Amino acid sequence: MSRSLQSRRTAKSRRSALTVSAVALLGATPFLTGCGSDAHPGAAAVVDGDRITVSQLQSQVRDVRDAQRDSPQAQQLIEGSGRLSHDTLIRMIQAKVVERAAKSNGISVSRRDVQQEVKKAENQPGGAEGLRTVFLRQGIAPEQIEETIRVELVRIKLMEKLGEEQAMAALRSTSERLGIDVNPRFGAWDSQQGLAVLVKDPWIKAGEPAKRPA
């Protein structure tokens, strides 16, 4: 099989995987590097000098928890996202890295592209309600779905344009240039796994990395 044909089939497979399952959410992509610091009070993280404030993080977490509590599966959803603040921060940082890498490579996604992808997902078995539940299991509130899908479409386009290996290299180099600095309250970046490892105190062994979506 030619490399170009294989690449086209891979790209098609990536797009079909985006719809209802949402298994390609940003938290599953290991590429981030960086270290934690408390040099920026009030910030959960700083990316290229821009602060992700604790209040911004808490706002997203609160939206998720409110939606989970309103769900018939409330207990299951809440118990399945016990590290919601930690995992939400990972996604917020990774979104910034993906956006910057895509911009550097002339890649963008239109609002129409996003709306079409959302509609396609809502037309799958389970409908719109099923889609919301899928995202709530991943710790993503209904009002955050469109933005999450938009960033994921950007990442897919990056991989389609550069190929998987070069795209991952672009994401790693971008994350290094952005000088990601995480508040130790939320963990420290593991450059090998690309995930924030929770550390309560310097002498306590780091916890397990965040679970990736199945």
Total structural domains in the chain? 1
Inside any domain, residue 81: yes
Q: State both tokens at 84.
A: 């919601």
Inside any domain, residue 60: yes
| 39, 180 Cβ separation under 8 angstroms | no
In the block, tokens 């889609």 appear at: 131
Inside any domain, residue 206: no
Nearest to 90 by CA among 33, 156, 170: 33
Inside any domain, residue 204: no
| 105, 159 Cβ separation under 8 angstroms | no
Inside any domain, residue 211: no
Inside any domain, residue 51: yes
Say which residues have a Cβ less than 8 Å from residue 21's Cβ, sequence separation at least 6.
134
pLDDT digits (tens, 9 = 90+) for 22-74: 444 444 445 544 444 555 678 999 889 999 999 999 999 999 999 999 999 99
Range of the domain at 163: 3-189
Alpha-carbon torsion angle 165, 156, 193, 140, nearest 10: 180
Q: State both tokens at 160.
A: 């389609």
- Helical H runs in the chain? 3-18, 54-69, 74-79, 84-104, 111-122, 127-137, 145-162, 164-177
Q: Please tell me the distance from the alpha carbon of residue 204 to that of residue 171, in angstroms, as a whole number.
A: 30
Inside any domain, residue 199: no
| 174, 97 Cβ separation under 8 angstroms | yes
pLDDT of residue 94: 87
Mark the ranges of the chain whose per-residue pLDDT is less than 50.
3-5, 11-17, 19-29, 32-36, 191-192, 199-214
pLDDT of residue 214: 34
Inside any domain, residue 209: no
pTM here? 0.76
